[in-house]
A and B are shown apart, each in its own frame.
Chain A
């Protein structure tokens, strides 16, 4: 299938007074029609700059972006404005017009394209129905919660039937429950209207929740990209690993604590020794490496475990393993 967005060798350098910052260092990426594409990175990685290059709110220093094979850098100001009406955007801080009520906010993009007021209002009411805020049409943004404001922003974004929806940290200012409902709404929009969605986030959970594809941006460079499954199951780059491990904070927390190496030589492979130890001590361990084989009913090989922080439980575990005739040695924080 033809990619709807083609990012081609995009670089962006911001000139400071006496220094220059390379926000993007040559990014090339294709986004297919109908994808929900997550672009994830730590703060300062350049992902917000990248998403602004997709509608030329930021013009790339070099390289370009093609939307449906049309080169944004080759467009006149007027053509660019027209293209922007087909690329909607929602933001972390919603960016609603505070002096307009909800209905008039949703009408705003239709005013820009010169739609008749009555038609715009009718469409706006339909859109508010879709996002579940019909009864708030006459309210002002200041009277709404964060989640409701983002729903208004989504309704506004859909007004001109865009082909692409860019989401810049759209859920970062929301609590987990609201985040979930907004993500569900985005998914529904993607499914019902076939709108390609690009989601910029620093939260891996957001990507995990709804994205089909993910690109990891690290320090202005594309570290890794592919389907969410691929990147999740086998993150290759340090940046990807860092982000993937962030999903389970406990796991990240267990890093660089006490590790032990167990060597199996004569144990029965029928005895689930590690599982029994966990049940006995009632604390989890982290298996960092497991390379064991069952040879004629005897377990051979080695394992590296990360022990819990609690000294007593750790000591109890070591004692438990030694009782079962295993060779146990402590190793410094295990790094591959």
Chain B
């Protein structure tokens, strides 16, 4: 199908050939925004999720105030629609990136939107870890760090990877809205050409490419998590 489409455009003449390279280029823009945002969002969201589990009532270092604050932050950021967040954080983006347009600028709102989401995913993954195993580690004299690192994160790794795959898909979806601030990427093209110009072919091509990307991520994520899971007989 890919070849047919490419051939189709090449037959149409020189105008479409730049379109093909434009699309290919924007696959990388999309991947850049998605992957970099997700990684940076994990830098914030992973510790936040861990802190939520540890400070929760009945947690290893139960702390009502800290837990309430984290819980509140996680909820409030998730309740702001991404499109609005994108615009709301423009001043912050200016400070951090120096400009408020382009793919790199989109990373700021993407990270802010994804981090609380990741915190929730991490929280739920870590809560799945058998309390008995944590208790066993405590009985061996393990300190908090060892329990987090070698018990909670290690035991929850398959669930964490499944979570990361879901996060990647979500961030990819959010990145489609990057067009609002001139962010580029496949989603942007789909909106620009498909919605504003009614160019269905370009729109469909973008959609197909996005589907392929998400499928690929999901496939790889599932493969890795299965491979790492030692709980099967």
Which of A's residues lie within 8 Å of B, judged by CB? 55, 57, 81-85, 87-89, 91, 93, 95-101, 108-109, 111-113, 140, 142-143, 160, 166
- The residues of A that contact B138 with a CB separation of less than 8 Å are 57, 84
A57, A87, A101, A142: the one contacting B232 at CB < 8 Å is A142
* Contact flags B96-134 to A (C-beta < 8 A → 1, else 0): 000000000000000000000000000000000010110
B133, B154, B158, B233: the one contacting A95 at CB < 8 Å is B133
Question: Is there an interface contact between A108 and B230, defined as CB atoms closer than 8 Å?
Answer: no
Question: Is there an interface contact between A97 and B155, defined as CB atoms closer than 8 Å?
Answer: yes
Question: Is there an interface contact between A95 and B230, defined as CB atoms closer than 8 Å?
Answer: no
Known: A85-B141, A109-B140, A112-B140. A97 touches B232 (CB 8 A): no
B141, B150, B230: the one contacting A81 at CB < 8 Å is B141
Known: A93-B132, A108-B150, A142-B232. A98 touches B139 (CB 8 A): no
B133, B140, B154: the one contacting A96 at CB < 8 Å is B133
A112 and B136 CA atoms in complex are apart in Å by 12
A95 and B134 CA atoms in complex are apart in Å by 8
Interface residues on B, range: 20 to 34
B135: interface (CB < 8 Å): yes
Known: A112-B140, A143-B233. A57 touches B135 (CB 8 A): yes
CB nearest neighbor in B for A110: B140
Contacts A/B (CB < 8 Å), 8 sampled: A85-B140, A88-B139, A88-B140, A93-B132, A97-B133, A98-B230, A100-B230, A143-B233
Question: Is there an interface contact between B141 and A140, defined as CB atoms closer than 8 Å?
Answer: no
Question: Is there an interface contact between A112 and B132, defined as CB atoms closer than 8 Å?
Answer: no
Question: Is there an interface contact between B140 and A95, defined as CB atoms closer than 8 Å?
Answer: no
Having A91-B135, A98-B231, A112-B142, one finds 5 other A-B pairs with CB under 8 Å, namely A81-B142, A96-B136, A101-B230, A109-B140, A113-B141
Question: Is there an interface contact between A55 and B139, defined as CB atoms closer than 8 Å?
Answer: yes
A89 and B139 CA atoms in complex are apart in Å by 7
Question: Is there an interface contact between A142 and B231, defined as CB atoms closer than 8 Å?
Answer: yes
A89 and B138 CA atoms in complex are apart in Å by 10
- The residues of A that contact B139 with a CB separation of less than 8 Å are 55, 57, 84, 87-89, 166
B151: interface (CB < 8 Å): yes
Question: Is there an interface contact between A112 and B141, defined as CB atoms closer than 8 Å?
Answer: yes
B200: interface (CB < 8 Å): no
- The residues of A that contact B135 with a CB separation of less than 8 Å are 57, 91, 95
- Which residues from 126 to 176 on chain B have a C-beta closer than 8 Å to any C-beta of chain A? 130, 132-133, 135-143, 146, 150-151, 154-155, 157-158
CB nearest neighbor in B for A78: B143
- The residues of B that contact A140 with a CB separation of less than 8 Å are 230-231
Question: Is there an interface contact between A112 and B146, defined as CB atoms closer than 8 Å?
Answer: yes
- Per CB-CB distance, the 10 closest pairs between chain A and chain B, nearest first, are A84-B141, A95-B136, A89-B139, A85-B141, A95-B132, A81-B141, A140-B230, A109-B140, A142-B231, A95-B133
Cβ of A5 to closest chain B Cβ, rounded Å: 15
A95 and B133 CA atoms in complex are apart in Å by 5
Most buried by B among A57, A87, A98, A109: A98
Known: A112-B146, A142-B230. A97 touches B151 (CB 8 A): yes
CB nearest neighbor in A for B142: A112
CB nearest neighbor in A for B156: A99
A100 and B154 CA atoms in complex are apart in Å by 9
A93 and B132 CA atoms in complex are apart in Å by 8
- The residues of B that contact A91 with a CB separation of less than 8 Å are 132, 135-136
A82 and B133 CA atoms in complex are apart in Å by 19
Cβ of B218 to closest chain A Cβ, rounded Å: 22
- The residues of A that contact B150 with a CB separation of less than 8 Å are 108, 111
A111 and B133 CA atoms in complex are apart in Å by 16
A321 and B27 CA atoms in complex are apart in Å by 100
Cβ of A115 to closest chain B Cβ, rounded Å: 12
CB nearest neighbor in A for B130: A95
- The residues of B that contact A112 with a CB separation of less than 8 Å are 137, 140-142, 146
A95 and B137 CA atoms in complex are apart in Å by 9
- The residues of B that contact A84 with a CB separation of less than 8 Å are 138-141
Cβ of A28 to closest chain B Cβ, rounded Å: 23
- The residues of A that contact B142 with a CB separation of less than 8 Å are 81, 112
- The residues of B that contact A85 with a CB separation of less than 8 Å are 140-141
Question: Is there an interface contact between B231 and A81, defined as CB atoms closer than 8 Å?
Answer: no
A88 and B136 CA atoms in complex are apart in Å by 9
- Which residues from 17 to 72 on chain B have a C-beta closer than 8 Å to any C-beta of chain A? none
Cβ of B158 to closest chain A Cβ, rounded Å: 8
* Contact flags B156-200 to A (C-beta < 8 A → 1, else 0): 011000000000000000000000000000000000000000000
* Contact flags B58-92 to A (C-beta < 8 A → 1, else 0): 00000000000000000000000000000000000
Cβ of A141 to closest chain B Cβ, rounded Å: 8
A108 and B229 CA atoms in complex are apart in Å by 19
Known: A84-B139, A142-B232. A99 touches B132 (CB 8 A): no
Most buried by A among B137, B139, B228, B233: B139
A87 and B141 CA atoms in complex are apart in Å by 9
B140, B146, B230: the one contacting A99 at CB < 8 Å is B230
